[in-house]
DNA sequence: ATTTCATTTCGATAAATATAAAAATGATTA
DNA sequence: TAATCATTTTTATATTTATCGAAATGAAAT
């Protein structure tokens, strides 16, 4: 019951749902999410650690950046069933779509100051794993 | 997104999950739930109104009591998918089972002072609608 | 080595939520 | 009609959670 209510609590925050929605598109560093959500970097970092703690997302270090992404498979049955449901609900959502548009138009040279041209290029060409609903 | 996060927020409270678990067994008045959860009646009433607001439960007036029960079908797609999942997760949960034992052993003459013998009898013989998971 | 950048942790504050006590409501019973 | 009971609403308080700014960390670039 604790596990159940904890997971629902984690999902019961709009900014965390916005992050999940963004990570559905592609993996992101903290700078990028901060830029779109217009929150303090420390706040975004906190949300990310909460999402990571319950196993919804994972991170990996890449040069200066910590790159976050959705987990593709979960060791938890509940999340495994819940996530496709959450992702499907984020379709056709106004806020979710607006965030994705903002993500598409983001200026990586400005948002992540130290990213060089080749890095930016590989991000733009990143293949998004399509999650089937 | 607001609807989604609101629903998760509602489900992200242990006492509300406990109430859902109890109502899975049979319909209940506020006194009974109060007795099992050991919360103030006003607090229980508040939780019930929150659950009712999102459409998870419904109420009906019966003499002095307001009898709450789980909705069997929902006008909301999300809840329709979510509820069976929640109910299945409440199986084999320690707290959930302990609450059900407490419910089985409850002394209705004491908890609901003004209930007469025939009322108590019909409650004990109430047929629980089995929800298929 | 020192500076710069990305991120996290810490500390403080603000906002939201859960809770209970008291008062109000409404209905039943004596 | 007055008293009792079940419930809800209101008000106040306690707790939790979200947020930010500042400081700390750590790694890369100069």
Express as a percent the part of chain B with pLDDT over 70: 94
Are A14 and B8 inside 8 Å of each other by CB? no
- In this complex, which of B1, B11, B18 lies closest to A8 when CB atoms are compared? B11
- A4 with A12: CB under 8 angstroms? no
- Neighboring chain A residues of B94 at a CB cutoff of 8 Å: 1
Asked whether the predicted pLDDT for residue A51 surpasses 90, the reply is: yes
Q: Which DSSP string corresponds to A69-128? A: EE-SS-S-HHHHHHHHHHHHHTTT-HHHHHHHHHHHT--HHHHSTT--HHHHHHHHTPPP
Could you tell me the sign of the dihedral formed by the alpha carbons of B20, A10, A12, B85, in that order? negative
Cα separations (Å) of A116 from A29, A49, A69, A121?
15, 27, 21, 9
A106 touches strand D (CB under 7 A): no
Identify the pLDDT of residue B114.
65
Burial of A122 (0-12, 13-18, 19+ CB in 10 A): exposed
Q: Looking at the partner chain, which of A4, A7, A89 has a beta carbon nearest the beta carbon of B4? A: A89
In this predicted structure, what is the pLDDT of residue A98? Answer: 97
Q: Which residues of B touch A9 (CB under 8 A)?
A: 8-9, 12-13
Contact A17 B1 (CB under 8 A): yes
B125 pLDDT above the threshold of 90: no
The CATH T-level fold of domain B2-124 is Arc Repressor Mutant, subunit A (1.10.10)
List, for residues A58-113, the tens digit of each pLDDT value. 999 988 899 999 999 998 899 999 999 999 999 999 999 999 999 998 878 787 87
Contact assignment for B11 to A6 by CB distance below 8 Å: no
Residues of A in contact with B14 (CB under 8 A): 1-2, 5
């Amino acid at each position: 019951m604790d596990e159940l209510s904890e997971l629902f609590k984690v999902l019961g925050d709009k900014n965390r749902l916005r992050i999940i929605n963004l990570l559905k598109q592609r993996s992101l560093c903290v700078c990028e999410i901060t830029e779109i959500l217009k929150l303090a970097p420390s706040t975004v970092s906190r949300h990310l650690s909460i999402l990571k703690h319950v196993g919804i997302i994972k991170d990996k270090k890449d040069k200066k950046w910590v790159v976050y992404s959705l987990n593709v498979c979960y060791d938890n049955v509940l999340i495994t069933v819940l996530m496709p449901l959450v992702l499907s609900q984020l379709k056709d959502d106004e806020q979710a779509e607006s965030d994705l548009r903002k993500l598409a138009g983001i200026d990586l040279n400005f948002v992540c100051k130290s990213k060089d041209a080749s890095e930016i290029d590989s991000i733009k060409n990143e293949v998004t794993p399509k999650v089937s609903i």
